[in-house]
Chain A
Amino acid sequence: MTTQLTGVATARTAPNPAQAVGLMLLRNYLVYRSAWKIFVTGFIEPVLYLFSIGIGVGELIDTFEFNGRAIPYAEFVAPAMLAASAMNGAIYSSTFNVFFKLKFDKLYDQILATPLSTGDVARGEIAWGLVRGGVYSAAFIVVMLVMGLISSWWAVLALPAALLIGFAFSAVGMALTTYMRTWQDFEKVTLLQLPLFLFSATFFPISALGGWSWLIEISPLYRGVVLCRELTTGALSQASVISVVYLVVMGLIGLVVVRRRLSLLLLK
């Protein structure tokens, strides 16, 4: 039995912001190393949608026009599922998981007792959402490729696009989570998430919505869907540029809010 502590393990310089993000990722990696099955299930959902709606319903539809081109219906739906799964994955890990760590596990209190800061926690957790979402998106892009649903080299940018969507929704999701008081508050998130998923030009073009289409055009998932769809079909337009700027700004605002809220909540 050791009764005297002899070893001295010290580091007198605090980790820099990049190292801090790495450490937050390492922590999450250690958690999922033994829970990889939970990790894998996140990939299943968009694939199921793709098969049932894209392929199943697609059988009933001849061809479909997108940005002046005729494309098969499955090719229309697949990039939307890519964008939607990036959103869903990001919202899931930045709301439920973060709420648990914030309120019940007191994980961030533990971390803030070390040299790490609230900015490190915010960036680290959002980065983890990106890594997780990125793995799902990459796998989904491979499925699309195998099924012949990609028709342009621009599609290599679909993965960064999915990561950008993940960043925007992770940051805003985590920011909203800092305002949550109980688990019931998350029903409001689900209430927002479902219409976004159904109406953001995921399964049909927004022209079908007539006078309401402007509302969809300024909503975040639509921007992501447009971006992914233009990249995988190769039918690029200025809408993609608008989408990129929109999502970057959304993510940065979320990040600033998260950092300020964590300081307010945890460094009282």
Chain B
Amino acid sequence: MVNEASGESVELMISARGLTKTFGEVEAVRGIDVDVRRAEAFGFLGPNGAGKSSTMRMIAAVSPPTGGTLEIFGLDPTAHGAGIRARLGVCPQQDSLDTELNVFDNLYIYGRYFGIPRADVKARAHELLEFVQLTDKADSRIDSLSGGMKRRLTIARSLINSPDLLLLDEPTTGLDPQARHVVWDRLFRLKQQGVTLVLTTHYMDEAEQLCDRLVVMDKGRIVAEGSPLALIAEHSTREVAELRFGVGEHEGTAARVSDLGERVEVLPDRLLVYAEDGEEVVTKVHERGLSPVATLVRRSTLEDVFLRLTGRTLVD
């Protein structure tokens, strides 16, 4: 691929065309096209069951594609699995650490699996423990770590081989807010150092924070693609007015406010009115004699794009 502006060739880390994955009768991935360039932070967004993890496993060269073509670093993962995995860092959805080994040995043996010489892997392990702020836990058992620490250790482990491409499957799911911010900070630093990041998430704020570009997946297909801002501009309005009424009143009230915005979304606990000016919506709602229990005017986020595209909330 050639960058038209500079004329330089842009290296594709991942290139998929018509990629499919079938498990028996279930079509998890139904023909997706994806290109990820060097030093890019790329996100797969989608509800559970959208096919994100299946896609990630194919990219990680541990799951053979059913159909279509897939190239990682320009190589076919079916034929060059080991060579591809040697250059990948993988941070799986569930922390799967070696619970029979202590923190340091987890990094040490993992690095050795890549064929990295002893002295190099030791130095790298110490540096990574420092990077994820776990140096004082080097001799601890895995069971004694908190969720945030385990996740940081898993991220450190995925960096042991200085990967060209780092795959993160829901990197902050299940973490408390502080722990999430530490992880985001570390991922952001890696991105600045030129590491290509590919992550899946169902946290919209995470995608907005970290991703240069992302695709929204639903039922095995890509339903939208672009930068977070472009997606919001394309699929949502500038602002959203959130209106909260009494339990069970939302369905009935929706019709009475539907003309106030471009679109109204009915959630179990509130109405979302999409409009250019949210305050104006709230004022008009009150003028109509409606009295919501609570109101909130906010900027549109990826979550709104998501609701629009997949037609459901993210809690499933």
Our pick among A3, A7, A12, A114 for the contact of B189 (Cβ within 8 Å) is A3
Task: Give, as a whole number of angstroms, the nearest-CB distance from A254 to chain B.
Answer: 24
Closest Cβ neighbor of A19 among chain B residues: B115
Number of interface residues of A (CB under 8 A): 36
- B62 near A266 (CB under 8 angstroms)? yes
Task: Give, as a whole number of angstroms, the nearest-CB distance from A109 to chain B.
Answer: 6
Chain A 70-105, CB within 8 Å of chain B: the 1/0 string?
Answer: 000000000000000000000000000000000001
List, in ascending order, chain A residues with CB within 8 A of B193's CB: 4-5
Asked if A69 CB lies within 8 Å of chain B CBs, one says no
Asked if B60 CB lies within 8 Å of chain A CBs, one says yes
- A106 near B115 (CB under 8 angstroms)? no
Chain B 97-132, CB within 8 Å of chain A: the 1/0 string?
Answer: 111110001001111111111001101100110110
Closest Cβ neighbor of B89 among chain A residues: A113
- B64 near A267 (CB under 8 angstroms)? yes
**For window 267-309 of chain B, which residues contact chain A by CB distance below 8 Å?**
none
List, in ascending order, chain A residues with CB within 8 A of B64's CB: 267
- B62 near A113 (CB under 8 angstroms)? yes
Dominant secondary structure at the A interface: loop
Asked if B133 CB lies within 8 Å of chain A CBs, one says yes
- A26 near B112 (CB under 8 angstroms)? yes
- A31 near B124 (CB under 8 angstroms)? no
Cα A268 to Cα B116 in complex, Å, equals 28
List, in ascending order, chain B residues with CB within 8 A of A12's CB: 86-87
Q: Given the interface contacts A30-B105, A114-B110, A266-B62, does A5 sit within 8 Å of B92 by beta carbon?
A: no
Asked if A208 CB lies within 8 Å of chain B CBs, one says no
Closest Cβ neighbor of A114 among chain B residues: B113
- B23 near A110 (CB under 8 angstroms)? no
- B111 near A110 (CB under 8 angstroms)? no
Asked if A2 CB lies within 8 Å of chain B CBs, one says yes
Task: Give, as a whole number of angstroms, the nearest-CB distance from B131 to chain A.
Answer: 5
- B113 near A267 (CB under 8 angstroms)? no
Closest Cβ neighbor of B185 among chain A residues: A3
Q: Given the interface contacts A23-B112, A115-B115, does A7 sit within 8 Å of B161 by beta carbon?
A: no
Task: Give, as a whole number of angstroms, the nearest-CB distance from A60 to chain B.
Answer: 45
- A8 near B101 (CB under 8 angstroms)? no
- A30 near B115 (CB under 8 angstroms)? no
Task: Give, as a whole number of angstroms, the nearest-CB distance from B208 to chain A.
Answer: 23
- B162 near A8 (CB under 8 angstroms)? yes
Task: Give, as a whole number of angstroms, the nearest-CB distance from A17 to chain B.
Answer: 11
**For window 1-27 of chain A, which residues contact chain B by CB distance below 8 Å?**
1-15, 19, 23, 26-27
Asked if B82 CB lies within 8 Å of chain A CBs, one says yes
Closest Cβ neighbor of B129 among chain A residues: A2
Cα A82 to Cα B130 in complex, Å, equals 49
- B114 near A114 (CB under 8 angstroms)? yes
Interface centre among A9, A12, A111, A268 (most CB of B within 10 A): A9
Taking Cβ atoms with an 8 Å cutoff, the residues of A that contact B are: 1-15, 19, 23, 26-27, 30-31, 105-107, 109-117, 266-268
A-B contact pairs, 30 of them (CB 8 A): A2-B131, A5-B127, A5-B162, A7-B124, A7-B162, A9-B116, A9-B123, A10-B161, A11-B86, A11-B115, A11-B117, A13-B86, A13-B115, A14-B115, A15-B113, A15-B114, A23-B109, A23-B112, A23-B113, A30-B101, A105-B100, A107-B96, A107-B98, A109-B62, A110-B96, A110-B98, A113-B62, A114-B113, A115-B83, A115-B115
Taking Cβ atoms with an 8 Å cutoff, the residues of B that contact A are: 23, 57, 60, 62-64, 81-83, 85-88, 90, 92, 94, 96-101, 105, 108-117, 120-121, 123-124, 127-128, 130-131, 133, 159-162, 189-190, 193
Q: Other CB < 8 Å A-B pairs besides A7-B162, A12-B86, A110-B97, 14 of them?
A: A2-B131, A5-B193, A7-B123, A9-B121, A11-B116, A12-B87, A14-B86, A23-B109, A31-B101, A105-B100, A106-B94, A107-B98, A113-B60, A116-B113
